[in-house]
Amino acid sequence: MADPIQGYYDKEYHSEYTKSALLKDYSLRSRLHFFQTHCVTKNARVLDYGCGTGAILTGLKDINKNGSYGVDVSESAIEFAKSKFADYKWKRVSIGDVLPFSDASFDVVLSSEVIEHVFDVDAYLKELHRVLKPNGILGLSCPFHGFIKDLLILVSGQFENHFHNPYDPHIRFYSVKSIQRVLAKNSFELIKKRAICPYLGLPPLARMMAFKAKAIG
């Protein structure tokens, strides 16, 4: 039986990106800068979980390219990455499956704009923790939600469309506190948080948040 989640992202999410629009994402520069500056060290083996068409992994500098991988649920995204960046390593994975890597395989795991799409958040973070070396670094980014921003969404009349749109692929909405709570539950220590893509230069209205956490335990 076909994987319905893979089918969704192949047909509905990645089809419009077949001409590399993901590589021109408005937030890409901010996310890459955070990961490069705060999460990735020289010669690090990096796993990009939810790599899409490969823009994050291939944008990083001075990593151990031979030991790094990008993985995604979408076959179309992986095929695009393979065709565009043939000198990098890409794998298609199924949501919920054990990743095809040994314990403690990577120095850094990045998962950008993924956690808000995940049903079983604990299983997802436990698996990322498993493939990280002790004290390895997890870099996350996701849409930002806080009291001021949510209040403005409400008073602007966009609450229904933003939170209850049945065609929106986002299934969870995170604040800094909720991210910190779910990370702590799954043996990660939050080290750094930063608003990226702030609207009008105001962090409380940021489009996204980025996080650096350390694998503990």
Residues 47-87: tens digit of each pLDDT: 999 998 899 999 999 999 999 999 999 888 899 899 999 99
DSSP symbols for the chain: ---HHHHHIIIIISGGGTTSGGGG-TTHHHHHHHIIIII--TT--EEEET-TTSHHHHH--S--GGG-EEEES-HHHHHHHHHH-TTS-EEE--TTSPPSS-TT-EEEEEEES-GGG-S-HHHHHHHHHHHEEEEEEEEEEEEB--HHHHHHHHHTT-HHHHHS-TT-S----B-HHHHHHHHHHTTEEEEEEEEES-BTTBGGG-SEEEEEEEE--
- Three-state SS string over 149-160 comes to HHHHHHHCCCHH
Average pLDDT, the chain: 82
Beta carbons of 59 and 29 less than 8 angstroms apart: no
How many residues comprise the chain?
Answer: 217
Q: For residue 132, what is the enclosing H or E element?
A: strand 132-143
> What is residue 210's three-state secondary structure?
strand
pLDDT average, residue stretch 183-212: 84
22-31, 105-114, 186-195, 208-217: least confidently modelled range = 22-31
pLDDT at 164: 47
- 71 vs 26 pLDDT, higher one: 71
- Six-digit token string for 114: 């993924």
pLDDT at 64: 98
Residues 173-197: tens digit of each pLDDT: 788 899 999 999 999 999 999 988 7
Q: For residue 5, what is the enclosing H or E element?
A: helix 4-8
Question: Which pLDDT band, with edges at 50, 70 and 90, does 102 fall under?
Answer: very high
Q: Report the sign of the C-alpha dihedral through residues 61, 65, 68, 69, in that order.
A: positive
pLDDT at 143: 83
Question: pLDDT > 70: what percent of the chain?
Answer: 71
**Structural domains for the chain:** 4-215 (3.40.50.150)
pLDDT average, residue stretch 139-147: 78
pLDDT at 185: 97
- 25 vs 169 pLDDT, higher one: 25
According to DSSP, residue 38 is labeled I
Residues 29-44: tens digit of each pLDDT: 899 999 999 999 999 9
Beta carbons of 76 and 54 less than 8 angstroms apart: no
